[in-house]
Amino acid sequence: MSVQSEFSVIQHYFEQLTSSRDDVLLDIGDDCALLKCPENQSLAVSIDTLVSGIHFFPDVDPHTLGHKSLAVGLSDLAAMGATPAWFTLALTLPEIEEPWLLAFSQGLAELAKQHNIQLVGGDTTRGPLAISIQVHGFVDPSKALRRSGAKPGDFIYVTGTLGDAGASLQLQLNQWYEDNLQAEDLLYLRERLEKPTPRVEVGQKLLGLASSAIDISDGLLADLGHIVKKSGVGARLELSKLPTSAALDKTSRKMVESLALESGDDYELCFTVPAHYFTEVQERLAGMCTQIGVITEESGLYFINENDERISLNKTKVGYDHFKE
């Protein structure tokens, strides 16, 4: 990890803020980190980049940015049912602003501590603001949650509520204005966009139970679309069952549906479970997820209303186009 000399000051922020795991034999400060993988587990890895102006507003609170940069990776581990272990950070900065770095590293460290995931290496370079984080976790490869295991008849679930992050993004971009939302609603939605909660615990509880899983980063339709495509199946969704927040429910029904189905960045999990595990899901994941539909033999995504009647949606949004690729 060749760190430019003038940037070496940055190391201090990150060195001081990480927990110490026994399986880290050598961390920051050599050419490589040396790590000990547990036997009989596979290593799950995922890398994500957040670019200023694309994935976040340039003036975003650096504390929440630190949180979100790690949260998106933890969400990928959650979607495999993996236990977080280590991460690396490639940070590109236009200049060194110590208050920014302090807040960013604290946001990162708080979430890292919560999940016992340790920073083991990194590279800091000068350039347009961007953050790449690679997360590493462990999971029994025979139980790991993949996108490809959904079978006809499996129930489809999502965690948390959908559409909140997308709503906040649209409000901040002034693409939408909504009279009914109070200051506390706006704050709630913004927290959902800027400080998503990776569903690591749920992912681990799903091992041996779920037939497939994915995290919702591109929108429910796009991401459930990946599951049905990889699994060679389809899905029927009950629109009235989509879990949405009290804040979002204050807006128009049409807007709620569109956001819940097609907006990304919620970082909730979408997963499928064989029907005979219905009771077990209710017990193991009480209050953590909502059943929203069922996997079908027929390919594609279909929607039904409260009366079990098939209905069609306006299919103009990004999420849907993405799924149809």
Q: How far apart are CA 47 and CA 5, in angstroms?
A: 25
Q: How far is the CB of 203 from a copy of itself (least distance, A)?
A: 9
Report whether 213 contacts 81 (CB < 8 A): yes
Q: Residue from 63, 115, 147, 192 that binds a copy of itself (CB under 8 A)?
A: 147
CB of 53 or CB of 232, closer to a copy of itself: 53
x/- track of binding to a copy of itself for residues 1-40 (CB under 8 A) = xx--x--x----------------xx--xxxxxxxxx-x-
**Which residues, numbered 74-103, are part of the site for a copy of itself (CB under 8 A)?**
76-77, 79-80, 82, 88-90, 92
Q: How far is the CB of 125 from a copy of itself (least distance, A)?
A: 5
CB of 181 or CB of 224, closer to a copy of itself: 224
Tokens 């602003």 identify what position? Answer: 97
Q: Which amino acid is at 144?
A: A
Q: How far is the CB of 301 from a copy of itself (least distance, A)?
A: 16
Residue 60 binding a copy of itself, by CB under 8 A: no
Q: Residue from 69, 105, 134, 245 that binds a copy of itself (CB under 8 A)?
A: 134
Q: Residue from 10, 48, 112, 193 that binds a copy of itself (CB under 8 A)?
A: 48
Tokens 């509520």 identify what position? Answer: 161
Q: Residue from 12, 51, 98, 116 that binds a copy of itself (CB under 8 A)?
A: 51
Phi, then psi, of 251 in degrees rounded to 5: -95, 180
Residue 130 binding a copy of itself, by CB under 8 A: yes
CB of 39 or CB of 283, closer to a copy of itself: 39
Residues 6+ apart with CB under 8 A from 309: none
CB of 181 or CB of 220, closer to a copy of itself: 220
Phi, then psi, of 7 in degrees rounded to 5: -100, 0
DSSP 156-225: EEEES-SSHHHHHHHHHTTS---TT--HHHHHHHHHHHHS----HHHHHHTTTT-SEEEE-SS-HHHHHH
Instruction: Give the closest residue to 226 by CA, choosing from 84, 83, 79, 81.
Output: 79
Q: How far apart are CA 36 and CA 43, in angstroms?
A: 11
**Which residues, numbered 99-128, are part of the site for a copy of itself (CB under 8 A)?**
120-123, 125-128
CB atoms closer than 10 angstroms to residue 296: 18
CB of 31 or CB of 309, closer to a copy of itself: 31
Q: How far is the CB of 42 from a copy of itself (least distance, A)?
A: 5
Beta-strand pair 310-311/300-304: antiparallel
CB of 48 or CB of 185, closer to a copy of itself: 48
Phi, then psi, of 110 in degrees rounded to 5: -65, -45
Q: How far apart are CA 316 and CA 314, in angstroms?
A: 6
x/- track of binding to a copy of itself for residues 188-227 (CB under 8 A) = -------------------------xxx-xx---x-----
Report whether 269 contacts 216 (CB < 8 A): yes
Residue 316 binding a copy of itself, by CB under 8 A: no
Q: How far is the CB of 186 from a copy of itself (least distance, A)?
A: 25
